Amino acid sequence: MSVSALVVASVLGLAGCGSSTGAADADADSTRLTVATTVAPITSIAAGIAGDRADIIGIVPEGTNSHTFEPPPQTAKLLERADLVLVNGLQLEEPTFELAEANAKEGSEIIKIGEQVLPESDYIYDFSFPEEDGKPNPHLWTDPTYAIRYAGVIKDALVRRDPANADYYSANHDAFVAEATELSEALKKDQATVPAGGLELLTYHDAYAYFAKTYGWTVIGAVQPSNFEDPQPKEIARLVDQIRAEQVPVIFGSEVFPSKVLEQIAAETGARYEDTLRDDDLPGAPGDPEHSWLGLMRYNYRTMISGLGGTTAALDALDLTVPVPDKADYPQ
């Protein structure tokens, strides 16, 4: 049994059988929390901590460009009844945040998680997020150390709003921390198998800046400019020259941002084009073992490490079993 499973098993013995889930139960139990979340990684982390004691409802459909997503009018109804609204912040999902502010019920909380865990002095501005635009890179969840901090903010919010289930939330939080730590250690082992000097990323969308800083990788470029359009011809020419000069073996594209430009660059340079990285689109379907923040990050790390010539034995061996049932609503 994994460390996380042991933690959860111990608290379930103390907490006894919990309340059931679903809309009908939420109506029957006025104390049950309704938590609105934005992108799927946040929804997954929140679901892992809330378990069956709160209703977690995602807003941003998986496979959507979360930077430009405009919430439909019916989202206002969810936000009107939510006790907690969890957004990433760092200007990732401003239309949703603004809608939440306009429709939040009295006494509810809107939490910009990223801005609670990342001091402004540590904001990263880069290829897709230039400082002159004033929008820092918001992709903290691709770094397990920040995902752990996200979990802490979420746990504290749930405990604050629902102290009767504090022990349950705390134990689920500890289980998530154990899983994220195991992922981090497996990542370190496997990235050491990449040939020396090979921990370099050229991506389409720059979602790995904080990850790279923490784990010693180098992001040598991102193709997608800040306006989310394809780059101009002169920028393409510069990237082609850089790839040739640095002998970059793989260009990592994004499943959410298919790009003919990357195919063109790969063809001109001889680099392999890997187009399946997922920034916030969880693998599989809701209910599948890999459909989780843990599954998402393992998939991406395996893709990057194997693409760069390493092996992924430690990541392959990770147990993706969810310690508590994921009952969140993930819009597709």
- The answer to whether residues 256 and 231 touch, using CB atoms and an 8 Å cutoff, is no
CATH 3.40.50.1980 in the chain is located at 3-183, 186-316
pTM of this prediction? Answer: 0.88
The per-residue pLDDT for 226 is 63
* CATH number for region 3-183: 3.40.50.1980
CATH class for the domain made up of 186-316: alpha beta
* pLDDT higher than 90, residue 15: no
> Which pLDDT tens digit goes with each residue over 158-217?
999 999 999 999 999 999 999 999 999 999 999 999 999 999 998 888 899 999 999 999
Query: At 112, is the pLDDT very low, low, confident or very high (cuts 50, 70, 90)?
Result: very high
Q: What is the biggest distance separating any 2 CA atoms in the chain, rounded to whole angstroms?
A: 64
The per-residue pLDDT for 223 is 76
Helix%, strand%, coil% for the chain, nearest 5: 50, 10, 40
DSSP labels, 269-328: H--EEEEEE-SS--SS-TTSTT-SHHHHHHHHHHHHHHHTT---HHHHT-----SS----
Residue whose C-alpha is closest to residue 203's, from 232, 225, 227, 185: 225
For the ranges 60-69, 207-216, 254-263, the lowest mean pLDDT is seen at 254-263
The per-residue pLDDT for 228 is 65
DSSP H or E stretch at residue 253: strand 250-254
Residue 31: phi and psi, rounded to 5, are -85, -10
